[in-house]
Structure 1
Amino acid sequence: MRRVSRIAVAGVATAALAVTVSACGSSSSSSTGKGGASKGVGLAYDVGGKGDQSFNDAAYAGFQKADKEFGVSGRDIEPQDGESDADKVQRLETLAKAGYNPVIGVGFAYAPAVKEAAAKFPKVTFGIIDDNQDQASNVADMVFHEEQSSYLAGVTAALTTKSNTVGFIGGVDVPLIHKFEAGFEQGVKDTKKNITVKAQYLTQTAQEGGFSSPDKGEAAAEGQIGAGADVVYAAAGLSGQGVIKAAAAHKVWAIGVDSDQYNQAALSKYKDYILTSALKNVEGAVYDLAKSVIKDKKPLSGDIRGSLTNGGVGLADSNPVFKNNATLQAALKKAEAGIKDGSITVKTS
């Protein structure tokens, strides 16, 4: 039976890693393990890899938490530039053969590889983040209502802008990122119809670096800010760091994505210009799948969908400027209630 999990919000941890190199990309094994039936989580990163302060790092935090709590020693592997689906299949199969369970592909690009590897290893649980399809019974599809948190980001932008111009920068022009743009623009327009939303995608494909090029993000943000945008929301993985850098340089607001980017150490010098972040609890999804396999011995499968209702998506409130704005918080509370009770239907495209 395909089950649906409630994704719980989890805190971000840190740990040191010993780095090794494998034939299918650089990898690391944690040093916290004590052994067990499963060696731990096998984690294969999306483009941009670990250190993006966003999507991949959220997955890594769930990986670390599982290692620490369950006394195992997982393994995570970085992607390679210009890799093929065959490379991804090899990476997942290498992890499965070595005894890691669950094995998780971070990002929709792993969809074909997960399908192929799961068929070859029916006793291993596979997970894929940001893709859902009619998979085998040993696959968990970990997906999110990104449009809902993006709607709240749009409300925030509309009530913060002074120029009545805001920007959206997507990493790659694909349906997943269209959800971020659609929710954001709807949130803006539902709040103030006269605001201009400038939208831009960095590349047409991930192979062109849309999720892994801070310089592309910075250049796009410079253009939008030059055209009057004083709040810029980026859904662009590692490229979003360039957007935040440009916003700080021009003393306008950035809205981060996936992780609470206000609290990311690598972005600390820009934090005063990170108003909030549209959160996606990838960390919780990775941890919950690991728990179901390693501790509960009842592997999750099927759609595991994060929403505002179950805490799988939301907005970060670490910046006091955001948190202490009573007018904004009242508007966000009303919008969130509307999404939860169905009176507001957020578009996905």
Structure 2
Amino acid sequence: MKRTNATKFAAVAAASALALTACDNADGDGASGDGEGGDADTVSVGLAYDVGGRGDRSFNDSAFRGLERAEEELGVETADFEPADGESDADKEDRLSNMAMEGYDLVIGVGYAYQEPIESVASEFPDVNFAIVDEEIEGHDNITSLVFAEEQASFLAGAAAALTTEEDHVGFVGGVETPLIKKFEAGYITGVEHVDDSVDIEVDYLSQPPDISGFTDPAQGRESAQAQHDRGADVIYHAAGASGNGVLEAVADNDLTFIGVDSDQYENADDDQKPYVLTSAIKEVDVAVYDLIEAVGEGELESGIQRFDLSDGGVDYTQSNEEAIEPIQDELDDLKQQIIDGEIEVPTAP
């Protein structure tokens, strides 16, 4: 059962706009806060980042904000762990097992790549709570899945692109061509075509599975965005993790329009890049992580799948760049309500 609602998401999201400062234990050497010598009743949480790690200005950073806020406001002990380049599922299992053996009350894996490792380790540690972001896992009493309607937020990103393009030509850059990222593509294309089906759409992926380098290669992101611009696109949306930083660089250099993903990338952009960020299709990973940790502390954690969408504020579009978004905000809000009301159905595959 979903614990959050629209009001709670809005309130917590506003409160969680924290600076991305480092945890006390950025290298993942143990719980921060009071450390291992703290109160025995203190909840301890370990979080393992997805490929790209903290600093991606996107997905991982959003998870970190939730972890950091829980440490500051709930008094929990936290530790975060970076992935290694080219690591295997066995490496992920070792990381999760180590956290479980060290006594963390909640172990979180950020990203779909943790599905098999978490299922394996959770079976070995039935008394430890596990959670995964962006993947559905069923049949385990000690695993909670936090999943989001990325396609809905991406629809609004596509609508925003179609409403602002001057060349009737837009682009999408995906990190790795997986079913999850195809959800972003599907929503974006549907949103563009809903507004104007004559707009040309460029679609490029930076790598194919099992190669996941497409999420960690800003240079390739920049190159792909430049190529889309050369073919005529003047608005580019990405779902490419840290590679999206390169997309933003190319957009700013060519005086184009950028649509970010997962986190509010206007807030995270360099000052000279902000004018080019129209909006971001966000999912409130930080809020979901915070609520999850709070539920553990209150003894109210529910396993199973927790879904977040436009109706409860779990996904949305951002309005931080007020000057840029204001002219189309009424139209986007109308489309948003139509999705919530079921008048528009957004597909999860192109």
After TM superposition, the score normalised by the length of structure 1 is: 0.93
Residue in structure 1 matching 2:295, options 286, 292, 295? 292
Q: Specify whether residues 117 and 6 from structure 1 end up closer, same or farther in structure 2 by C-alpha distance, changes over 3 A only.
A: same
**Residues 26, 80 of structure 2: 8 Å contact kept:** no
How far is the alpha carbon of 1:19 from its aligned partner?
Answer: 4.1
State the 1:131 CA deviation: 0.3
Instruction: Label 1:113 to 1:133 Cα distance change in 2 as closer, same or farther (>3 A).
Output: same
Q: Is the 8 A contact 1:168 1:234 kept in 2?
A: yes
* Cα gap change, 1:304 to 1:104, in 2 (>3 Å): same
CA contact (8 A) 2:23 2:68 kept: no
**Structure 2: how far apart are the matches of 1:161 and 1:172?**
25
SS state of the match for residue 210, structure 1?
helix
Match of 1:13 among 18, 41, 55: 18
Equivalent of residue 254 in structure 1, options 254, 258, 264: 258
Cα distance in structure 2, aligned partners of 1:344 and 1:20: 43
Rounded to whole Å, the distance in 2 between the matches of 1:275 and 1:80 is 33
SS of the residue 1:198 aligns to: strand
Structure 1 residues 206 and 322, CA gap change in structure 2 (3 angstroms): farther
2:335 partner letter: A
Deviates more, 1:315-324 or 1:160-169: 315-324
Q: Distance in 2 between matches of 1:119 and 1:345?
A: 37
* Aligned equivalent of 1:272: 275
> 1:76-87, aligned counterparts within 5 Å?
76-87=80-91
Give the direction of change, closer, same or farther, for the CA distance of 1:158–1:20 in structure 2 (3 Å limit). closer
The equivalent position to 2:248 in structure 1, one of 219, 224, 244, is 244
SS of match in other structure, 1:318: coil
Shift of 1:182: 0.4
Q: For 2:242 and 2:331, how far apart are their aligned partners in 1?
A: 30
Q: Quick check: 2:31–2:44 contact (8 Å CA) kept in 1? A: no
**Cα contact 1:50–1:57 (8 A) shared by 2:** yes
Looking at structure 2, the residues matched to 184 and 298 of structure 1 have their Cα atoms a distance apart, in angstroms, of 36
Counterpart-to-counterpart distance in 2, 1:19 and 1:32: 11
- Residue matched to 2:320: 318
Counterpart amino acid of 2:131?
Answer: G
Name the amino acid aligned to 2:3: S
Shift of 1:300: 2.2
Corresponding position of 2:207: 203
Moved more, 234-243 or 67-76: 67-76
| Cα distance in 2, alignment partners of residues 20 and 259 from structure 1 | 20
Instruction: Give the whole-Å Cα distance in 2 for the aligned partners of 1:32 and 1:166.
Output: 49
Q: Which residue of 2 aligns with 1:336?
A: 336
Partners in 1 of 2:29 and 2:227 — Cα distance? 37
Partner of 1:108: 112
* Backbone CA RMSD of aligned residues: 1.6
Q: Does 1:214 align with 2:214?
A: no
Q: Which residue of 1 aligns with 2:345?
A: 345
Q: Does the 8 Å CA contact 1:128/1:141 hold for their aligned counterparts?
A: yes
2:144/2:304 contact within 8 Å kept: yes
For the residues of structure 2 that align with 1:66 and 1:20, how far apart are their CA atoms?
16
* Alpha-carbon offset, residue 32 of structure 1: 5.9
Give ranges in structure 2 of 5+ residues lacking alignment.
Answer: none
> What CA deviation, in whole Å up to 9, does each residue of 1:182-236 have, x standing for no partner?
0000000010111001111100026441111101100000000111100000000
Tell me how far 1:102 sits from its aligned partner: 1.2
Deviation at 1:31, TM superposition (A): 3.3
- Give aligned-pair identity as a percent: 44
Residue 65 (1) aligns with residue 49 (2): no
Q: Which residue of 2 aligns with 1:92?
A: 96
CA contact (8 A) 1:4 1:302 kept: no
In 2, are the aligned partners of 1:244 and 1:254 still within 8 Å (CA)? Answer: yes
Structure 1: which 5+ runs fail to align?
Answer: none
Secondary structure at 1:167 match in 2: strand
CA distance in 1 between partners of 2:279 and 2:84 (Å): 31
1:253-302 CA-partner distances (Å, limit 9, x unpaired): 000000001001x53331111110000111011111101102x1111211
Whole-angstrom distance in 2 between the partners of 1:287 and 1:346:
28
Q: Distance in 2 between matches of 1:194 and 1:64?
A: 45
Indicate the SS of the match to 2:237: strand
How far apart are 1:4 and its partner, in Å?
Answer: 2.8
Change in Cα spacing, 1:267 to 1:30, as seen in structure 2 (3 Å) is farther
Give the CA deviation at 1:29.
4.3
**Structure 1 letter corresponding to 2:266:** Y
Deviation at 1:20, TM superposition (A): 6.4
Deviations 1:16-56 (A, max 9, x none): 433465xxxx5564336653434422100000000000000
